[in-house]
Amino acid sequence: MANHVAGPEIEKLIKLLARLPGLGQRSARRVALHLIKNKDQLLIPLSDAMATAVDKIQVCETCGNVDSANPCTICTDARRDPSLLVVVEDVSDLWALERASVLNAAYHVLGGTLSPLDGIGPDDLNIGGLLARTDKGEIKEIILAVNATVEGQTTAHYITDQLQAQAKQASVINPDFQPIKISQLAHGVPIGGELDYLDEGTLLQAMRSRKEFS
């Protein structure tokens, strides 16, 4: 705004809010004004919640999840099956699977996907941490719950190769070594999806993976 009519404090608040995903300059102003108008009900609680987040929230050293505890709540949850590990790209994917209450497994967050064009190689992802976990022998199955994108699939292939190489090495040392089962999410028609609106790739996969009525 011209001439700093709203004072530098509000200007700064708007500028920072505009950097949040999904907010632009106009919506940031609207949010700032809403916050200022609802000081007691919203601005103060949100300010406190953010200060707490700054202090407490950290990345879990085991799985890469974000939490106020390290290791995180999921890693220390005794009711979860530690032999089943779900590998996801991002914390948001972990949250999505948890919301769906799909299974009671442990997680491993990669922190992205392999993307040579963006200069993201295996060392930029938490793949070393994954191999360190599988090396301990406790994990029996890994589900690669990566996105159905080219990058996601490339990452899944790379991880599969690495795990198989690790298994090969382990079986040399120990002939009784049981290789880890590796699986991937099914591709197909989403629930509620209409065939007419789906792309050819999805339809092809759905047709190939068709299931017989039992």
Residues near a second copy, by CB under 8 A: 1-10, 12-13, 16-17, 19-23, 27, 29-31, 33-37, 39, 42-47, 49-54, 56-57, 65-69, 72-74, 90-92, 94-95, 98-99, 101
Do residues 182 and 160 make contact, with C-beta atoms less than 8 angstroms apart? Answer: yes
What's the min distance (Å) between Cβ of 89 and a second copy?
A: 12
Report yes or no: 111 and 120 within 8 Å, Cβ to Cβ. no
For a second copy, which is the closer residue by CB, 35 or 180?
Answer: 35
- What does the CA dihedral 133, 134, 135, 140 come to, rounded to 10 degrees? 130
Give the nearer residue to a second copy in terms of CB position, either 90 or 141. 90
Minimum distance between the CB of residue 210 and a second copy, rounded to whole angstroms? 31
Written as six digits, the tokens of 54 are 């700054």
Least spacing, CB of residue 37 vs a second copy, in Å: 8
- As measured in angstroms, the least distance from the Cβ of 204 to a second copy is 29
Which residue is it, tokens 């976990």?
A: 133
Q: Which is nearer to a second copy, 55 or 123 (CB)?
A: 55
**Of 64 and 152, CB closest to a second copy:** 64
Q: Rounded to the nearest whole angstrom, what is the least distance from the CB of residue 92 to a second copy in the complex? A: 6
Rounded to 5°, angle at Cα 160 from 111 and 152: 45
The smaller minimum CB distance to a second copy, of residues 149 and 169, is found at 149
**Shortest separation between residue 90's beta carbon and a second copy, angstroms:** 8
Asked whether 112 and 89 are in contact (CB, 8 A), the reply is: yes
Q: Which residues of the chain form beta strands (DSSP E)?
A: 58-59, 66-67, 81-88, 105-109, 141-144, 181-184
Backbone angles phi, psi at 122, to 5 degrees: -55, -35
| Residue placing its CB nearer to a second copy in the complex, 4 or 168 | 4
